[in-house]
Amino acid sequence: SVWGTVGTQVGRHEPRRPVEVAGTLRSREDYKGAVGRPRGAMETSEGTQASARWWGSLRKKKTTHNFKLTSCLSGPPKRFPVAVVDDILKDVLGSYLREQRYEPGRCREMAKDVAEVIKARVKDVMIPRYKIVVVTHIGQLNEQSMQIASRCLWDPVSDTFSSYVFKNASLFALANVYAVYFE
């Protein structure tokens, strides 16, 4: 707020106090006195009825949003090519793990390497506005079963995934590629 002397009243000089400028709050006392009173009935410290025009300007202005939601609801212009990504998964897992024996330390590093290679190959397909997430698991085949689950929050119209399981004599590998569309 702006501080100055009010000199508009006839023949009366008042001490320095806050002055109303373009609808801003005049003083803290005015605000305290206005709480709980009807519009236009605010009393100032002088006991007079003050105009509450500034009080109306303190309310939030109603805004309208002018963006379209239709592009979000219609989905991407080009769908994610799940069949192409399935072929990439088969090729990468088969070439990296075909003759590989299960060794815990080596397979931990192979899972990271395979995930990076898959992600690079999927990004080479150049699908615009999709975030690619690759998750790989490599484990030992030893007459046991395993269940792997994942949960995601996504839009079923535009988001999708691709999955492939590879097995050889001593290990299994699961690779999941999640494609999440950026709106």
Backbone angles phi, psi at 62, to 5 degrees: -80, 125
Q: How far apart are CA 30 and CA 34, in angstroms?
A: 6
Number of domains into which the chain is organized: 2
Which residue has 């990504």 as its token pair?
85
Residue bearing the bigger pLDDT, 111 or 38? 111
Residue 117: CATH number of its domain: 3.30.1140.40
Residues sharing a CB contact under 8 Å with residue 61, sequence separation 6 or more, in sequence order: none
64 within some domain: no
Query: Can you give the pTM of this predicted structure?
Result: 0.59
State the pLDDT confidence band at 23, using cuts at 50, 70 and 90.
very low
CA distances from 91 to 95, 117, 118, 157 (A): 6, 11, 10, 28
Return the pLDDT at 45: 47
pLDDT in tens, 48-93: 444 555 555 555 556 666 554 444 456 788 889 999 999 999 999 9
Partners of 174 in the beta sheet? 137, 165
pLDDT in tens, 124-168: 998 888 999 999 999 999 888 889 998 888 888 899 999 999 999
Q: Which domain holds residue 46?
A: 2-58
Q: Tell me: pLDDT of 25 over 80.
A: no
Task: State which H helix or E strand residue 130 sits in.
Answer: strand 130-140
Average pLDDT over every residue of 103-113: 95
Q: Tell me: pLDDT of 8 over 50.
A: no
Return the pLDDT at 177: 96
| Contact by Cβ (8 Å): 136, 115 | yes
Indicate if 124 and 158 belong to the same structural domain.
Answer: yes
Q: How far apart are CA 76 and CA 159, in angstroms?
A: 9
- The end-to-end CA distance of the chain, in Å, is 42
Average pLDDT across the chain, whole number: 75
Of the residues 16, 31, 58, which one is the last residue of a structural domain?
58
Q: How far apart are CA 4 and CA 154, in angstroms?
A: 58
